[in-house]
Homo-oligomer: A and B are copies of this chain.
Amino acid sequence: MNKTKVSIKDIAQKAGVSTALVSYVLNGKEKESRVGQEIATKVRQIAAELNYQPSHLAKSLRSGKTHTIGLVIADISNPFFANIARVVEDEAKRNGYTVIIGSSDENASKSRDLLEVLINRQVDGFIIVSSENSEDQIRSLNDRHIPFVLLDRYFPEIPTDFVSTDHYRASYDAATHLVKNQYKHIGMIAYDSQMFHMHERIRGYQDALRDNPINAHEHWLKRVKISAIDTGVKAAIDTMLATDQPVDALLFATYSLAVSGLKYINKLGVRVPDDLAIVSFGQAEVFELYHCPITYIKQPIGLLGQTAVELLVKKLTHKPTEPEQILMKAELIERASSKTHKTLIT
């Protein structure tokens, strides 16, 4: 039977030396401490025999480095974030870091708890997909000089490193694509949220309509509470289809909104794209396997995750300079759900 844990004391007793000497040897400081080569070898052998596991915890307290990255994501059950997490892990591993993950469930207080738990677990730094109302937490990390990089979502008024999709441009391009394909009544369902990335997605849609130019009906843009997606999306679609200028195309601002919307559209028997064209943010198997493949805004998940790790590792290994702020271009993957409108019965 193994003992629960082998200590330095156990090794010292077996080797007949002091615990201090064992500690010097196991921390690679035998030369500075003038420990003889023979004794050092003996100590190492005994440590190996006893299967001694150094406490990284105690070691971290001394060195201040743990080679661990804390990844805080907004919702682990959203495939976009789950896939980002996978990329961050792979890239971190390549750089010699282990990732421990926490999910804030789009909840600022949970995010605060997680950050503190992970800080107390001595992670070297963070990659964070922020949740709403977490600006104070980000400012506090800045003030405490804790290294971090924001991923996908950022606060333009706080000077931080970030890497994000250009949400405005992605949305602008998606709406413009619908205009080009002869849709005239283009709606959008977004979250009712203070998050900057959501505002950017809405602004891109609005500017594309204005520039083309299309006079948007007041009911074409709906904001849905993240805590009640299904009822919100249902009400939004009902209103949009019942107005005197019903929408002929719909842009979903997130994957979760789209999934909810597609379920309801199926139920209503609305045909895609003949009755209603669809474009959505995010990528997922659903969009490919839906009876009419869905046009989607493909965010550069691989590049986003890799660059976030790269920026963070740079911060951890060099003196920090000015914040690096990177916006990446999304790609519109055109499928059947938004193909050119054939007949316009208006």
Interface residues of A (CB under 8 A from B): 1-2, 4-5, 53, 55-58, 60-61, 68, 75-79, 82-83, 85-86, 89-90, 93, 98-103, 105, 110, 113-114, 116-118, 120-122, 143-145, 259, 262-263, 266, 284-286, 288-291
In chain B, what residue has the closest Cβ to A103? Answer: B89
Q: Which residues of chain B are within 8 angstroms of A86 by Cβ–Cβ distance? A: 75-77, 103, 105
Contact B289 A144 (CB under 8 A): no
With A4-B145, A143-B1, A285-B286 already in contact, the answer to whether A100 and B117 are too (CB < 8 A) is: yes
In chain B, what residue has the closest Cβ to A71? Answer: B101
User: A259 contacts which of B56, B61, B285 (Cβ < 8 Å)?
Assistant: B285
Q: Which 10 A-B pairs have the closest CB atoms?
A: A291-B291, A56-B120, A101-B101, A77-B86, A121-B121, A82-B82, A98-B117, A100-B100, A2-B143, A4-B145
12 pairs, A vs B, C-beta closer than 8 Å: A4-B145, A56-B120, A68-B121, A76-B89, A77-B85, A82-B82, A100-B101, A259-B289, A262-B289, A263-B288, A286-B286, A289-B290
Q: How far is the CB of A95 from chain B (nearest CB, A)?
A: 14
Q: Which residues of chain B are within 8 angstroms of A82 by Cβ–Cβ distance? A: 76-79, 82
Question: How many Å lie between the Cα of A266 and that of B75 in the bound state?
Answer: 31
Task: Report how many copies the assembly holds.
Answer: 2
In chain B, what residue has the closest Cβ to A293? Answer: B266
Q: Which residues of chain B are within 8 angstroms of A76 by Cβ–Cβ distance? A: 76, 82, 85-86, 89, 101
Contact B121 A57 (CB under 8 A): yes
With A82-B82, A291-B291 already in contact, the answer to whether A144 and B4 are too (CB < 8 A) is: yes
Contact B99 A100 (CB under 8 A): no
Q: Which residues of chain B are within 8 angstroms of A85 by Cβ–Cβ distance? A: 76-77, 103
Among A58, A82, A98, A285, max chain B CB count under 10 A is at: A285
Question: How many Å lie between the Cα of A82 and that of B78 in the bound state?
Answer: 8
Question: How many Å lie between the Cα of A4 and that of B146 in the bound state?
Answer: 8
Q: Which residues of chain B are within 8 angstroms of A113 by Cβ–Cβ distance? A: 98
Question: How many Å lie between the Cα of A77 and that of B89 in the bound state?
Answer: 11
Q: Which residues of chain B are within 8 angstroms of A116 by Cβ–Cβ distance? A: 53, 56
Question: How many Å lie between the Cα of A142 and that of B56 in the bound state?
Answer: 21
User: A289 contacts which of B1, B56, B77, B289 (Cβ < 8 Å)?
Assistant: B289
Q: How far is the CB of A60 from chain B (nearest CB, A)?
A: 7
In chain B, what residue has the closest Cβ to A2? Answer: B143
* Known A68-B121, A101-B103; 17 more pairs at CB < 8 Å: A2-B144, A55-B120, A56-B117, A58-B61, A60-B120, A76-B76, A76-B85, A79-B82, A86-B103, A89-B103, A89-B105, A93-B110, A100-B100, A100-B121, A286-B286, A286-B289, A290-B290
Q: How far is the CB of A141 from chain B (nearest CB, A)?
A: 11
Question: How many Å lie between the Cα of A63 and that of B82 in the bound state?
Answer: 34
Among A75, A82, A110, A116, max chain B CB count under 10 A is at: A82
Question: How many Å lie between the Cα of A102 and that of B100 in the bound state?
Answer: 5
Q: Which residues of chain B are within 8 angstroms of A60 by Cβ–Cβ distance? A: 57, 120
Q: How far is the CB of A28 from chain B (nearest CB, A)?
A: 18
In chain B, what residue has the closest Cβ to A97? Answer: B117
